[in-house]
């Protein structure tokens, strides 16, 4: 099942389920459910909620998808987005080359957080921030959306605590990132978290998910790798993080990006105003944004 946050002609932000053909969106109220925001839906998710929606998905009801504006599925995350750096080997190698250092396989994951004011939705603009950076980069990533509170979670229980998956572009200012010798500032600028187009519930995927993650810039393929290539897998990350910080429903973990980012080319190929960035993940869809 797919759930999106959208703004209709009345300028009201709502949450709805996508029809089976992805052509329409069904407001939660049409199924007799409260008008939850996405976090409210995740907290209330149950078999009863699912069964209330199922009969409407193939019945031709709902609002045409092309008549609404899709927003980020979780426009205002409750907490900073949790991130892991260099979770694909080839990306770790290209990152080391860019920094001029020797790569050493890590014993521990490189965690950091991504500050988000409001996440950018599908079709939204990625601000260039060209007054403070000229090394704007893209990173297509699978995003894990937490469904149940995780506190000292065992790895074998991890997938039962996931609500679903979406796409996040971990936009990065590489010069700021390197100048400050940490990731928060260079990855946390306003507009640096495109997300969407919707959340697909975890039951739609294998366990673990085996998905192709790719990114295109102006139609040219730049990134492509499979989530089976993670250095640290999802159960490991959720278990380790929740051992010291409780994860709440609606929290988001992005799982690393494949090689092929702009800084990985010789010479580097950073983003500029007018560039169109498309992040794709099979089973989820496509997230397209323009640099402005």
Question: pLDDT for 4-60, tens place per residue?
Answer: 999 998 999 999 999 999 999 999 999 999 999 999 999 999 999 999 999 999 977
Q: Worst-scoring range by mean pLDDT, 6-15, 99-108, 132-141?
A: 99-108
Average pLDDT rounded to a whole number, residues 200-208: 97
pLDDT number for residue 145: 99
pLDDT number for residue 102: 87
Average pLDDT rounded to a whole number, residues 87-95: 89
Average pLDDT rounded to a whole number, residues 92-112: 88
Split at pLDDT 50, 70, 90, the class of 229 is very high
Q: How far apart are the first and last CA of the chain?
A: 33
- Whether the pLDDT of residue 104 is over 90: the answer is no
pLDDT number for residue 95: 85
Predicted TM-score of the model (pTM): 0.97
pLDDT number for residue 114: 97
pLDDT number for residue 61: 85
Residues 35-50: b if buried by 16+ CB within 10 A, e if exposed:
ebbbbbbbbebeeebe
Q: Which residues lie below 8 Å from residue 223, measured CB to CB, with a gap of 6+?
A: 138, 140, 213, 214, 215, 257, 258, 259, 260, 261
pLDDT number for residue 198: 98
Mean pLDDT score of the chain: 96
């Amino acid at each position: 099942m797919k759930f999106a946050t959208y703004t209709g002609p009345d300028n009201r932000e709502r949450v709805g389920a996508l029809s089976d053909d992805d052509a329409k969106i069904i407001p939660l109220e049409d199924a007799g459910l409260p008008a939850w925001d996405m976090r409210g839906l995740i907290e209330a998710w149950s078999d009863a909620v699912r069964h209330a929606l199922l009969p409407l998905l193939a019945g031709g009801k709902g609002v045409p998808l092309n008549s609404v504006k899709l927003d980020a599925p979780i426009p205002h995350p409750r907490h900073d987005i949790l991130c892991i750096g260099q979770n694909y080997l080839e990306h770790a190698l290209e990152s080391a080359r860019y920094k001029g250092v020797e790569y050493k396989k890590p014993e521990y994951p490189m965690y950091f957080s991504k500050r988000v004011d409001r996440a950018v939705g599908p079709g939204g603009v990625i601000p260039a921030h060209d007054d403070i950076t000229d090394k704007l980069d893209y990173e297509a990533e699978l995003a894990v959306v937490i469904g149940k509170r995780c506190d000292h979670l065992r790895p074998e229980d991890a997938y039962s605590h996931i609500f679903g998956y979406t796409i996040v572009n971990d936009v990065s200012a590489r010069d700021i990132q390197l100048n400050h010798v940490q990731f928060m500032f260079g990855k946390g600028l306003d507009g640096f978290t495109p997300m969407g187009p919707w959340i697909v519930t975890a039951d739609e995927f294998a366990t673990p998910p085996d998905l192709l993650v790719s990114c295109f810039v102006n139609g040219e393929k730049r990134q492509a790798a499979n989530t089976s290539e993670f250095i640290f897998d999802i159960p490991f990350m959720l278990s380790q993080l929740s051992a010291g910080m409780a994860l709440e429903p609606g929290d988001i973990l992005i799982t690393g990006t494949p090689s092929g980012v702009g800084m990985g080319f010789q010479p580097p190929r950073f983003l500029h105003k007018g560039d169109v960035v498309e992040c794709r993940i099979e089973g989820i869809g496509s997230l397209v944004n323009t640099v402005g």
